[in-house]
Structure 1
């Protein structure tokens, strides 16, 4: 954004919104919106409590298990769909259906199948993340230039060498893009799972803060989650850009 010939960083908009939030909170117009300074103070105190640390461990464990399953299933399935038309015809309808479906509606079914424990949260994270990973991996494989494959075959490369040295490396930027979006969706899944299914981890803290109207702590926990999701996305994006540059140079 440019104003009077001066380039203004996009992050400057956060300062403007932060000032507006602080003003609204100071005026005490809506009790649900406390001052931003109070939220920051509450956040500093919150991360020092044992309850937040215990909840973070539970949440990170559920998120890590769900995302590991999503990546371990989504990437191979997407590659198979991109390489083999029969697999794509078999799974394409289901993948597109789950991508567009409101997955929160499946939570009651997951509760019946897996109970009210942490397993349901892990499955919720998996379902939120895996489908976009599948689609991006599929798109990456399908966009590999056929000229590269023909060149590899002309130099005597066997099927495994073609897959590892040409197809996989060429599709890697799209695969990483799917993982990055899947991480963000996985954060949504772990919060929804913990709030709607198992009142554990951050879900338990959200329930406690909302029930007792501790809005500073409620918003502080929300911002911590947002910051964690943005940090994960930024880290994957940095790696993704490096791989994309390497793939482009190839």
Structure 2
């Protein structure tokens, strides 16, 4: 962003909002919004507690297992939908339905099926993440130019060689984009699942802080989650940039 001849860093907007937040907190206008400095101090105290460390391990484990399952199922299913019209017709309606459905409403049903434990959170992460991964993998495969298939066949490439050397690499930008979006949705899934279960991980801490009106700790935990989601997204985006030449080669 530029003002006249001066280039304003993007972080300037964040700093402005932090200053405004600090002023509002200091004026004690809204009980739910403590000063930023108080939130930072609460965050430093929070990360040193055993309860936060234990909750973080549970949350990371639930998130990692759910995302691993989402990627293991979503990428192959999306590729199959892109390659085979029969699979696309069979699964397309369900995938589009779950992408647009309010998945939070399914968590109580999952609690009945899997109980008030970590399994429910893992399944919630999976359901939040897998559908967008499927759609992006499908889109990546469907955008591979037919000319690449014809070129591979003209050189005598087998079906597996066409898939592993052409389709997979050509679709990789969209596959990584889907995984990045799935990671963000997975973070939402793990938080929503744990909050509704309210007995494990960060959900237990959110329940504890809100019940005791510890708003500084509540906001500190929220900011930690936001920062983790942004770092995960930035990491996948870094890999996306490294393979952008595949997308350029398809044009």
TM-score bracket for the superposition, by shorter chain length = over 0.9
Deviates more, 1:87-96 or 1:9-18: 9-18
RMSD: 1.0
Equivalences for residues 1-250 of structure 1 within 5 A: 1-249=1-249
Matched-pair contact (CA < 8 Å) for 2:194–2:204:
yes
Deviation, structure 1 residue 119: 0.3
Structure 2 spans left out of the alignment, 5+ residues? none
Deviates more, 1:121-130 or 1:103-112: 103-112
Stretches of 4+ moved more than 2 A in 1?
A: 245-250
Deviation, structure 1 residue 198: 4.6
1:141, 1:245 → 2: CA distance? 16
Structure 1 spans left out of the alignment, 5+ residues? none
Tell me how many residue pairs correspond in the alignment.
250
Tell me the SS of whatever aligns to 1:190.
Answer: helix
Deviation, structure 1 residue 249: 5.0
2:181, 2:242 → 1: CA distance? 17
Tell me the SS of whatever aligns to 1:29.
Answer: coil
1:199, 1:183 → 2: CA distance? 23
Deviation, structure 1 residue 215: 0.5
Deviation, structure 1 residue 197: 2.0
2:198, 2:156 → 1: CA distance? 55
1:67, 1:112 → 2: CA distance? 22
- CA deviations over 1:99-139 (Å, ceiling 9, x no partner): 00000011111111111111000000000000000000000
State the TM-score, normalizing by the size of structure 1: 0.98
Deviation, structure 1 residue 246: 4.5
- CA deviations over 1:22-76 (Å, ceiling 9, x no partner): 0000000001000001101111111011000000000000000000000000000
